Amino acid sequence: MTTYIVGYTIIGLIIAFIIFCVLIKRQVIFAETPKMQKIFAHPLMFYSFRRLASGLISFVLAILVTFFLIRLATPPDNTCQDLFFNPKISTEVYNLKCNNWKDNMGFSGSTIQQLGKFFYAIIPVPKTLCITDIDTTLGMYTIQSCRTFIFDFGRIYKLSGTTDGSFVIDYMMPRMGVSFSIGIIAVVVEMGLGYPFGILMARYQNGIFDRIGRAYIISVDAIPGIAYYYVWMAIFCGWLGLPMRYIEGNFASWLPAILTLGFTGMAGIGLWVRRYMLDQFNSDYVKFARSKGLSERRIMWIHVLRNAIVPLIRTFPTAIISALLGTYYIENIYNIPGIGQAVMISVNSNNSSLLSGIIIVSALLSIISYILGDVCTALADPRISFTKD
């Protein structure tokens, strides 16, 4: 009951806030209060609302595509036979188990009914879900346990002769925590190295450091990513003696994955920082600053760097949120039990619910990161205007 109260209260507050802002924007309320108009009718806020609306459309399309792909990839009758067929059980028990699985997976009813159940499961409203099974001796349904969720990504059923019916979200959340713990540190490393790397290449253009840096960037781009990951693995684990496999609670075993992601990602950041800074160095305002006698150091740190960083600000939310999703290759190379490794597990074991849950979460986080990136860019760049004037 508490989850329902909190969940619907939050949803109600969000809707009420949007309506409140629209009424102020249209001057239905607080028309004579400039301060309220400035805060709650700010163009950036309504730009964010529009981006959120377009993001929701994209999210709905992602749900539709995922729904139909799952139905094509998981024929219910064939899957039932793979899961539950056993010559030792009666046809009645087999049908009960199959129908129970279809109910739990949302495969019962017409296509429209299934689609409605799928959308309801994804919509962030409180819902109580129960794990049910079949008592083979009594030939009837039994409820094992019930839980309350905001999102329901379905159940995990293994196509190996056994089923557990555990919730996908229970499987995903701990793995997202592992991916984020390693990924966020890797983001700090790649940004902490990538920005100074690009700044120094731009500052000493065509010098030795710039030539070495460009050679490194070209090598990262030219060599396939997975091959480059194994090169770093050989360096960190072979030469430096770091653990080759992830061990929970052992930070040293995290370092190969963190450094591999960090040193590989810094190449892309360095490349774009260098390009943006060189573009700024050739701008008219820089030429004017030089004509006024400003030092190159002041021009670079006070003017060029500040303007060059603005286009890259939109990458911050994307990098942080993407850390929640991990990386497929790195997590499999170092045996990290993260969300990236879960993708390979779901594909190899034909767990369509787990795969669809990961796809939907990925789509949602991607949309959120794009919206936050646009908002951060708008806040950082004073040249961006949301008015029609």
Is it the case that residue 18 has pLDDT exceeding 90? no
- Predicted confidence at residue 259, as pLDDT, reads 92
Amino acid identity for residue 210 in this structure? D
Q: Which residues contact 108 (CB under 8 A, 6 or more apart)?
A: 99, 102, 114
Closest by alpha carbon to 246, among 176, 148, 338? 338
Mean pLDDT of 135-154: 69
* Residue pLDDT, tens place only, 175-226: 989 999 999 999 999 989 998 898 889 888 889 999 999 999 988 888 887 7
**Two tokens at 210?**
């710039």
Closest by alpha carbon to 101, among 30, 162, 60? 162
pLDDT band at 389 (very low <50, low <70, confident <90, very high): very low
- Predicted confidence at residue 160, as pLDDT, reads 45
Mean pLDDT of 147-167: 68
Q: Which residues contact 339 (CB under 8 A, 6 or more apart)?
A: 172, 175, 176, 178, 179, 324, 325, 326, 331, 358
Mean pLDDT of the chain: 81
Q: 262 or 372: whose pLDDT is higher?
A: 262
Lowest mean pLDDT among 217-231, 259-273, 307-321: 307-321
Q: Which helix (H) or strand (E) holds 90?
A: none
Q: How far apart are CA 176 and CA 144, in angstroms?
A: 27
Is it the case that residue 130 has pLDDT exceeding 80? no
- Predicted confidence at residue 90, as pLDDT, reads 76
pTM value is 0.79
pLDDT band at 137 (very low <50, low <70, confident <90, very high): low
Residues of the chain with pLDDT > 70, as a percent, come to 91
- Predicted confidence at residue 384, as pLDDT, reads 63
Classified as helix, coil or strand, 140 is: strand
